[in-house]
Amino acid sequence: MAGLDDVARRAGVSTATASRALSGRGRLSEATRARVRAAADELGYVASVTASGLATGRTRSVGVVVPLLDRWFFANVLDGISTALAAHGYDITLYTVTDDPQQRRRLLHTALRRGRVDAVIVLSVEFDDGEIDELLALGMPVVGLGTPSPRLATLRVDDIRLARLAVEHLVALGHRSIAHIGRSHDDDRAPDIPTQRRRGFDAALADAGLRPAGFAAADFTIDGGFVAARDLLAGARPSAIFAASDELAFGAMFAAREAGLEVPGDLSIVGVDGHEMSGFFGLTTIEQFPHAQGERAAEAVLAALGEEVAEPASSLPFELVVRTSTAAPGR
Amino acid sequence: MAGLDDVARRAGVSTATASRALSGRGRLSEATRARVRAAADELGYVASVTASGLATGRTRSVGVVVPLLDRWFFANVLDGISTALAAHGYDITLYTVTDDPQQRRRLLHTALRRGRVDAVIVLSVEFDDGEIDELLALGMPVVGLGTPSPRLATLRVDDIRLARLAVEHLVALGHRSIAHIGRSHDDDRAPDIPTQRRRGFDAALADAGLRPAGFAAADFTIDGGFVAARDLLAGARPSAIFAASDELAFGAMFAAREAGLEVPGDLSIVGVDGHEMSGFFGLTTIEQFPHAQGERAAEAVLAALGEEVAEPASSLPFELVVRTSTAAPGR
DNA sequence: CTGAAAGCGCTTACAG
DNA sequence: CTGAAAGCGCTTACAG
């Protein structure tokens, strides 16, 4: 691989000048700049990141911390991040993080402190206070997407309003007996997404003078939705379910089918996400454009790194998509 | 952040000795080694990758090139890669690649030549001959997973046998009219996965003295499967469909439902993958354990980098899982 | 506008 | 077993 001095030699200038010509920093004549560029092209020169990283402290890479790679939502967010970062010549270094405390230590204490990345994007991982301290102590930009901590610069959709939108749709259809599948902290002020959605659910019902017809906790998988819905349908059956994700909603649809119930005849179901399969299932849902969310998170981080990016809008959009899984309460 | 000389000073040794103590290379007394380690722990020292990378030429990072982040299969493979790599202290740098030739050039010509990664894993991307040349010219280990090119060290499942297994299951149930949804090159010798599966399909039918009851090409999405199946079901209807992926099979199931057909009463369907939803759909499928495939690819790359890894098995396993989407041809 | 030189933080022959 | 020194390939004040 050709190095910078090969380029300099070929262009007949010093290494310093070659560096300036290629980076665009410092002023030099257009002629020499062009000469250096030509030499670099001819040699197929690409600057070594380890060398320039060591010299400048910048590596043009951002770390992305994800909880689970195989959730549809995260895969799409990641894709969005990747698109936006690539457009600015940044690479992405991927870190998976589960509940394993040792793994978290390794991430915070070692991986992120190796100087491999210039900034980090954290997706929906719940870090405790001490972990947030360590993140902040990294001394680089950290942006969260759907991260619960108020101490992190975080992009989020207004999940209370989002949930209200879903529930108000059901109420408008005439439903009076609406249950919820999701997750919730006991503390109403907990900032995590599932709790916010549960609060929006409660609030919308209260506004309509209704009380929850049931709540079932589930992790955000299809199977979780299936089991939760089976529980809900076993008791005094609600006429509608608001599921906190499309995957939960799919699970609920499978449970309804197993129970011999028709959707929406016997049971209306609303989800959240806009999952690629929601159309096939005829699922009414709140779309939230994860790909765009990823792009926005990437832009926030790029801005913090001093890159030129389009002015970011202030809030993340979502919208109700009505399909065939919701209707007026039947029979 | 503490540097190596801080550690050395605290331990009362030279930087060189500190480096040796921490890396384990070169022999030195247990006593000083312990002293250095203690100093490093107390200071929370972590070696800078840019510095050690520049000095050694190794960065402990591997590039992973993926076509699409939001396919269930790739997400799981990636997760497997991440698991195995993390266990050896390697990071992963993620590169997404589509058909856009400019993007491919940027990857091959720039991103991969920056010295950021020690090796690369390529997932199912079809590179042309010139691109393969560039990959090989990188001068680092490259391993493919499901990559068509015979010039790349590639891990693959035996897709001909895999397809035979699926089709033989249908034949054994008594089906005589079996169609295929997938993709295929005209050239039978094309090494890409879809073509291999189509060949296995043909071969199994030929062995049973049967001829294909239809073939419909589709990209590997649910929607692709839906459209393809709708076409197949519009003509002389087959009694069974072998779909080259579970997502295609899901699409086919939706199409069957739309056509008012019962599965498996009117139509049997087999898929490939072992998608997390296949259980809910009652889909008979060939499981192929993508997570394990990812781990295996990572281990192959680690071995090429001189890391100690378990002896890799020689072929990738798969297995038939019979559910309720297949039965003897009905009515 | 351009060059010589120091420095980024490690590693590794080379001596001893 | 340990240290002094050179070097990895860039960038950037500092001079001119």
| pLDDT given at position A293 | 95
pLDDT tens-digit map of B132-172:
999 999 999 999 998 888 888 889 899 999 999 999 999 99
The pairing of beta strand B178-182 with beta strand B240-243: parallel
Q: What percentage of chain B carries pLDDT values higher than 70? A: 99
Query: Which residue has better confidence, A327 or A152?
Result: A327
Nucleotide of closest approach to A20 (CA, C1'):
D11
Residues of B with Cβ-Cβ distance to A84 under 8 angstroms: none
Mean pLDDT, residues A273-281: 94
Looking at the complex, report in whole angstroms how far the Cα of residue A129 sits from the nearest Cα belonging to chain B: 19
Question: Each residue of B32-86: pLDDT tens digit?
Answer: 899 999 999 999 999 999 999 999 999 999 999 998 887 889 999 999 999 999 9
Q: What pLDDT sits at residue A25?
A: 81
- pLDDT, residue B153, reads 87
Query: What was the pLDDT predicted at A237?
Result: 93
* CA–CA gap between residue B40 and residue A109 (Å, rounded): 13
pLDDT of residue B220 exceeding 80: yes
Q: Which of A15-19, A66-70, A123-127, B184-188 has the highest mean pLDDT?
A: A15-19
Residue pLDDT, tens place only, B113-127: 999 999 999 998 888
What per-residue string of b and e applies to A246-264 under the rule 16 or more CB within 10 Å gives b? bbbbbbbbbbbeeeebebb
Chain A residues with CB under 8 Å of B86 CB are: 96, 103, 106
Confidence at residue B253, expressed as pLDDT on a 0 to 100 scale: 97
Residue B266: pLDDT over 70: yes
Q: Which of A148, A129, A122 is nearest to A67 (CA)?
A: A122
**pLDDT at residue A313, as a whole number:** 67
Highest mean pLDDT among A1-10, B159-168, B308-317 belongs to B159-168
Tens digit of each residue's pLDDT (9 = 90 or more) over B249-264: 999 999 999 999 999 9
- Of the listed ranges A211-215, A275-279, B19-23, B124-128, the least confidently predicted one is B124-128
What pLDDT band is residue B331 in, cutting at 50, 70 and 90?
Answer: low
Would the Cβ of A324 be found within 7 angstroms of any atom in strand D?
no
pLDDT, chain A, mean:
93
Q: Can you give the three-state secondary structure of chain B, one letter per residue?
A: CCCHHHHHHHHCCCHHHHHHHHHCCCCCCHHHHHHHHHHHHHHCCCCCHHHHHHHHCCCCEEEEEECCCCCHHHHHHHHHHHHHHHHCCCEEEEEECCCCHHHHHHHHHHHHHCCCCCEEEEECCCCCHHHHHHHHHCCCCEEEECCCCCCCEEECCCHHHHHHHHHHHHHHHCCCCEEEEECCCCCCCCCCHHHHHHHHHHHHHHHCCCCCCCEEECCCCHHHHHHHHHHHHHCCCCCEEEECCHHHHHHHHHHHHHCCCCCCCCCEEEEEECCCCHHHHCCEEEECCHHHHHHHHHHHHHHHCCCCCCCCCCCCCCEEECCCCCCCCCC
State the pLDDT confidence band at B311, using cuts at 50, 70 and 90: confident
Share of chain A above pLDDT 70, in %: 99
In angstroms, the CA of B54 and the C1' of D7 are apart by 10
- How high is the pLDDT of residue A311? 72
Q: B30: pLDDT confidence band, cut at 50, 70 and 90?
A: confident
| B 118-147 near A (Cβ less than 8 A) | 139
Kindly tell me if the per-residue pLDDT of B314 is higher than 70.
no
- B210, B200 Cβ separation under 8 angstroms: no
Cβ-7 Å neighbors of strand C: A 13-17, 20, 26-29, 31-33, 51, 54-55; B 3-5, 15-16, 19-20, 22-23, 25-26, 45, 47-48, 51-52, 54-56
Look at residue A314 and tell me whether its pLDDT is greater than 70. no
pLDDT of residue A31: 86
Residue B313 confidence (pLDDT): 67
Q: Per residue in A138-185, pLDDT tens?
A: 999 999 998 878 888 889 899 999 999 999 999 999 999 999 999 988
Mark the nucleotides of strand D covered by protein, meaning any atom under 7 Å from a CB.
1-5, 7-13
Using 50, 70 and 90 to split pLDDT, how confident is the model at A304? very high
Q: What is the pTM assigned to this prediction?
A: 0.93
Asked if A67 and B87 touch (Cβ cutoff 8 Å), the reply is no
CA of A23 to C1' of C14 (A): 37
CB-CB under 8 Å, A93 with B226? no
> What is the model's pLDDT at position B184?
82
pLDDT of residue A331: 58
Per-residue pLDDT reduced to its tens digit, A251-267: 999 999 999 999 999 99
Proximity of residue A232 CB to strand D below 7 A: no
- The least confident of A25-29, A297-301, B275-279 is A25-29
Q: Is B272 on the interface with A (CB under 8 A)?
A: no
pLDDT digits (tens, 9 = 90+) for A234-246: 988 999 999 999 9
Inter-chain touch B51–A48, beta carbons under 8 Å: no
Percent of chain A with pLDDT over 90: 79
Measured to protein CB atoms, the chain C nucleotides within 7 Å are 1-5, 7-13
Q: What is the mean pLDDT of chain B?
A: 93
Distance CA(A299)–CA(A302), nearest Å, equals: 5
Query: In this complex, do A75 and B76 lie within 8 Å of one another by their Cβ atoms?
Result: no
| Mean pLDDT in residue range A22-47 | 89
Mean pLDDT of A107-119: 95
